[in-house]
Structure 1
Amino acid sequence: MDLNDKNVLLTGGSAGIGREMARQLQAKGARVILTGRDPARLDSMRAEGFEALTADLSNAAGVDALLALLGDRPLDVLINNAGQLVDHDFRKGAPDADAADEGIYANLTAPIRLITALVPRLRGRPQAAIVNVTSGLAIAPAARQPVYCATKAGLRFYTLALREQLKDTSIQVIEALPPVVDTQMNDGNPMKKMPAEECARQIVAAIEQQRDEANIGMTRALRMVESIAPSLARRMTLRF
């Protein structure tokens, strides 16, 4: 896909991987509308020339508000990148059930609702794409992040099924599976982290190259192990 002059909606675009994707997409000539929750970060992105919308995607009202702000603008690419990492570890104490609900909504329900609302608009474009950012942990889970892993695995299987449904349309369905990336979400994670700029570069390249799946960094090795010995892949990640 030639990204020049394409209209892109990028959720979670004010920090981390999303911020780097926004910059790289803009550099390629795309018109990027990004979303986020932090006012200072959104203002910073506006200063770089982006249209930045305030959107809390952890509940239905937030998704509906975003769709209302978007209006009937043309759209060529939807990138579901926003996500929440939920602390849900019984070894540390009783998890917060409300936080789990918000994480499930932000990571899984919100992308589904946005896709449901926007597929008719994307169908009307000669070439369009839906990009769902899942995780290497959608393949094999980490013990300390069960809610995050479950939602990303859910989004992975939703993406696989959606791709089959839309295979005869103008919409390509792409899944991006990052490894551990150097973002605020992973502060305190002792694992080696990929720079956010490089992760974003590989996702943008997957869109340009029209690849169905982008296994990024260490996720490529994990996918290979999982294809040969799923139990070994799980043992590798469950330690974390």
Structure 2
Amino acid sequence: MQVAGKTILLTGGTDGIGRELAEQLRAKGAQLIVSGRTPERIAAATAAGYEVIAADLSTAAGADIVLDAVKGRTIDILINNAGLGSDHDFRVGAPDLGDNDRCIFANLNAPIHLIAGLMPLLKALPEAMIVNVTSGLAIAPRSGGPIYCATKAGLRSYTLALREQMKGSNVHVLEVLPPVVETKLTAGRSSRKMSVQACAAEIVQAMESNAKEANVGMTKLLRIVESISPALARKIMIRF
């Protein structure tokens, strides 16, 4: 799909991968509507010329705010990029279940709510696209982040089923599986990280080529290992 001239709703577009993705898509001629939840980042994105929807997608109310803000407008592409991490490691201490619930809603429920709310509009267009950003951890989890990994695995399963439902329609479904990327979400992680610029560039290329799945950066290697031995992939990733 050519992104030039398209109107794109990009969640989590005020920071990290989302902010860089917004920059690269705008440079190609797309019109961006981005969502964010941090006042300082919202102000910065607004000052940079973006249309910003202030919404916390860790709640159903936040998803409703986004849908209400774009009601009646043409959205050609929905990118479900917003995501949260959440601690849940009994080796360290008892988990905060409220925080876990917010992570589950932001990473899994919110994309489903947005897709369901926008689907009638998307299906009415000559061509449309849904991009769900999951993670290499949707393939094999790490022991220290079971909630995050579970949400991304859940969104991957949802995406695979949704793509089958949309087969033969005008709605293209793309799953993006990034590796560990240099963002605030991965601050403190010592593993090798991909730059947001390189990650966003691969996502844009996948969108323009109508790819079904974009294994970004080191996730390509993980997918090769997983295709040979799922057990080996799990053994490698569970340690991180």
Please confirm whether the aligned pair reaches a TM-score higher than 0.5, indicating the same fold.
yes
1:208 aligns with 2:199: no
Q: Secondary structure at the match of 1:44?
A: helix
**Per-residue CA distance 1:149-205 (angstroms, 9 max, x = gap):** 000000001000000000111110000000000000000001000001110110011
Equivalent position of 1:157 in the other structure: 157
Pairwise CA distance, 1:73:
0.7
The amino acid of 2:180's aligned partner reads: V
Equivalent position of 1:119 in the other structure: 119
Q: Secondary structure at the match of 1:41?
A: helix
Equivalent position of 1:88 in the other structure: 88
Equivalent position of 1:36 in the other structure: 36
The amino acid of 2:96's aligned partner reads: D
Cα distance in structure 1, aligned partners of 2:5 and 2:213: 24
Equivalent position of 1:135 in the other structure: 135
The amino acid of 1:100's aligned partner reads: N
Superposed counterparts of 1:72-83, under 5 Å:
72-83=72-83
Equivalent position of 1:102 in the other structure: 102
The amino acid of 2:16's aligned partner reads: G
Q: Which runs of 5+ in 1 are unaligned?
A: none
Cα distance in structure 2, aligned partners of 1:177 and 1:10: 16
Cα distance in structure 2, aligned partners of 1:132 and 1:52: 20
Equivalent position of 1:3 in the other structure: 3
1:232 aligns with 2:197: no
Pairwise CA distance, 1:70:
1.5
1:175 aligns with 2:159: no
Cα distance in structure 1, aligned partners of 2:169 and 2:78: 15
* 23-32 or 61-70: bigger deviation: 61-70
Cα distance in structure 2, aligned partners of 1:201 and 1:88: 32
Equivalent position of 1:27 in the other structure: 27
Work out the percentage of aligned pairs sharing the same amino acid. Answer: 56
Cα distance in structure 1, aligned partners of 2:40 and 2:197: 20
Q: Which runs of 5+ in 2 are unaligned?
A: none
Q: Secondary structure at the match of 2:142?
A: coil
Q: Secondary structure at the match of 1:100?
A: helix
Q: Secondary structure at the match of 1:9?
A: strand
Equivalent position of 2:185 in the other structure: 185
**Per-residue CA distance 1:122-147 (angstroms, 9 max, x = gap):** 11111110000000000000000000
**Per-residue CA distance 1:41-100 (angstroms, 9 max, x = gap):** 111111111101101011111111111112211010000000001111111100000011
Cα distance in structure 1, aligned partners of 2:20 and 2:80: 14
Q: Secondary structure at the match of 2:34?
A: strand
Paired residues in the alignment total 240
Q: Secondary structure at the match of 1:221?
A: helix
Cα distance in structure 2, aligned partners of 1:120 and 1:204: 25
Q: Secondary structure at the match of 2:69?
A: helix
Equivalent position of 2:144 in the other structure: 144
Cα distance in structure 2, aligned partners of 1:43 and 1:59: 22
Pairwise CA distance, 1:225:
0.6
The amino acid of 2:219's aligned partner reads: T
Cα distance in structure 1, aligned partners of 2:55 and 2:29: 24
Cα distance in structure 2, aligned partners of 1:203 and 1:82: 15
Cα distance in structure 1, aligned partners of 2:201 and 2:119: 25
The amino acid of 1:164's aligned partner reads: E
